[in-house]
Amino acid sequence: MKRPNNLFLILHLFLLLHFTSCKENIEYVNTLSGSEALNDGNKYITEVMIHDIFSPPVASRIYAYPNIAAYEIAVMADPKYKSLMGQLNGFEPTDFDIPDEIHFPLASITAFYEVGLQLVFSEDKLIEKRDLIYSDIKKKGIPDQTYNNSIKLGKAVADHVMAYAKKDNYHQSRSFEKHTIRKEEGTWQPTPPIYMEGIEPHWRTIRPFFLDSAAQFKSVPPTTFSKEKNSPFYNEALEVFNITNNLTKEQTDIAMFWDCNPYKMNVKGHVMFAEKKITPGGHWMGIASIAAKASNLDWKNTAEAMAFTGLAIMDGFIACWDEKYRSVLIRPETYINQHIDEDWLPLLQTPPFPEYTSGHSVISTAASKALTHLFGEPFHIVDSTETAYGLPVREFSSFKSAAAEAAISRLYGGIHYMPAIIHGQTKGAKVGDLLISKVKTRNDNLAEK
């Protein structure tokens, strides 16, 4: 056996010292700088949105763009990922200068926060969270040049994504007319306790990411309105009335778990106070994050999961809202009070927009399709997204089963008729299937599913 020469010993010693000195950076890349920071970013942006009280459709937009930006950095870091540029409607490809000294996870985090900051009101709260991450990175000893390069690249990607976002018709829609309440029987009317005007009546005009148009999967019309007893529409309302009057504890728990009302107004005597919660889209982004953590995904996989789920939710809302303000259907609370029992109240507070189709049914089904595509089936989910709001965890054997529960929860809550749930699920499934067939996050020749 040959003895190693002095050159070999010197080289061995150099490598040993080198990797020992880089230990903190290696640990950081594998932990906070990657998937944990992206998951935390979505958690923090959720907290800010709850504080700012964004409606469910607008919240879906706020989730989508920052995660697209974070994902585009993952594409630069690993050739097996496929850019969304050139795939999403209007998202034009561009080239970025990528320096040799780069920390891709930091660039991804930067892109996420730079976009998020431009979409919320309470920027200071998000800046505070971002700066804590930046401070931790510096403490880990990342070289100044690498740090600065990474921030610069993240901002460049964020600028491109924001230029894309600014052309989706959101800002123009802020000046559109409010929804006009119709006088015809069977049309939506504002509901108690605060009789809020219909939110986002022009959401159908927002540019979708992958749908050809908001009406691509136009639902069948809702059941013909009638106040005659034993008519199909009357029986649908009677079904809501009877079920909500005889709820089991499990049904009540399901309804409360999936409430996801971002602004519930409580009334006690002459006192009114608001209770702010997560949105339906926020709940599903939370599920995506839980799945990423449970699967021990790295930061690139996590960015992929969050972006893909965000796309499903955003276009799901656009498709759903297209139908809501086409049919402008009366809510169960209004109908039942007028034609069955004037004192009846739903378990959940009725949201301020038309009934058909069910938003939870559409976006939950679309999101579950996206997540099943990425994580497979079965997939055990311990859903803790609502624990911050005083609700216990619920467990599911698949994303599909979670979505089905979210959909039926709207019947138990007394805020939807069954057709809105059934046809909402159909629409959501079509949205999810189109996303999977049309938008690819992996290069086929390099993908490792």
Per-residue pLDDT of the chain (449 residues; tens, 9 = 90+): 333 344 333 333 333 333 333 333 333 344 444 678 899 999 999 999 999 999 999 999 999 999 999 999 999 999 999 999 999 999 999 999 999 999 999 999 999 999 999 999 999 999 999 999 899 888 888 999 999 999 999 999 999 999 999 999 999 999 999 999 999 999 999 999 989 999 999 999 999 999 999 999 999 999 999 999 999 999 999 999 999 999 999 999 999 999 998 877 777 666 766 677 899 999 999 999 999 999 999 999 999 999 999 999 999 999 999 999 999 999 999 999 999 999 999 999 999 999 999 999 999 999 999 999 999 999 999 999 999 888 999 999 999 999 999 999 999 999 999 999 999 999 999 999 999 999 999 997 655 54
Q: Given the structure tokens 């409580």, which residue do they identify? A: 266
Q: Are residues 165 and 203 in the same domain?
A: no
Q: Which of 170, 196, 219 is the last residue of a domain?
A: 170
Transcribe 318-345 into DSSP letters: HHHHHHHHHH-BPPHHHHHHHHT-TT--
Q: Establish if 280 belongs to a structural domain.
A: yes
Q: Are residues 109 and 166 in the same domain?
A: yes
Q: Establish if 13 belongs to a structural domain.
A: no
CA 15 to chain centre: 45
Dihedral over alpha carbons 305, 309, 310, 312 (to 10 degrees): 150
Q: Establish if 17 belongs to a structural domain.
A: no
Q: Establish if 44 belongs to a structural domain.
A: yes
Instruction: Report d(CA 56, CA 276) in Å as an integer.
Output: 12
Instruction: Report d(CA 63, CA 289) in Å as an integer.
Output: 12
Instruction: Report d(CA 273, CA 277) in Å as an integer.
Output: 13
**In this structure, what token pair is assigned to residue 102?**
């780069």
DSSP 204: G
Q: Are residues 53 and 32 in the same domain?
A: yes
Transcribe 278-302 into DSSP letters: --HHHHHHHHHHHHHHHTT--HHHH
Q: Establish if 261 belongs to a structural domain.
A: yes
Q: Are residues 210 and 127 in the same domain?
A: no
Q: Are residues 323 and 395 in the same domain?
A: yes
Per-residue exposure over 181-193, b if at least 16 CB sit within 10 Å of its own CB, e if not: eeeeebebbbbee
pTM listed for this prediction: 0.91
Going 428 to 430 to 433 to 438, the CA torsion angle's sign is: negative
Phi, psi at 4, each rounded to 5°: -65, 140
Q: Are residues 192 and 309 in the same domain?
A: yes
Q: Establish if 12 belongs to a structural domain.
A: no
Q: Are residues 131 and 248 in the same domain?
A: no
Q: Are residues 163 and 208 in the same domain?
A: no
Q: Which of 170, 189, 209 is the last residue of a domain?
A: 170
Instruction: Report d(CA 164, CA 205) in Å as an integer.
Output: 16
Instruction: Report d(CA 343, CA 400) in Å as an integer.
Output: 36
Q: Are residues 286 and 430 in the same domain?
A: yes
Q: Are residues 315 and 433 in the same domain?
A: yes
Instruction: Report d(CA 34, CA 194) in Å as an integer.
Output: 43
Q: Are residues 224 and 362 in the same domain?
A: yes
Domain that holds residue 265: 181-438
Strands 394-396 and 264-268: unpaired
One-letter amino acid for residue 305 of the chain: A
Q: Which of 144, 170, 196 is the last residue of a domain?
A: 170
DSSP 206: S
Q: Establish if 256 belongs to a structural domain.
A: yes
Element (H, E) at 315: helix 299-327
Into how many domains does the chain fold? 2
**In this structure, what token pair is assigned to residue 14?**
């150099």
Instruction: Report d(CA 75, CA 84) in Å as an integer.
Output: 9
Q: Establish if 120 belongs to a structural domain.
A: yes
For residue 277, the domain's CATH number is: 1.10.606.20
Q: Are residues 187 and 158 in the same domain?
A: no
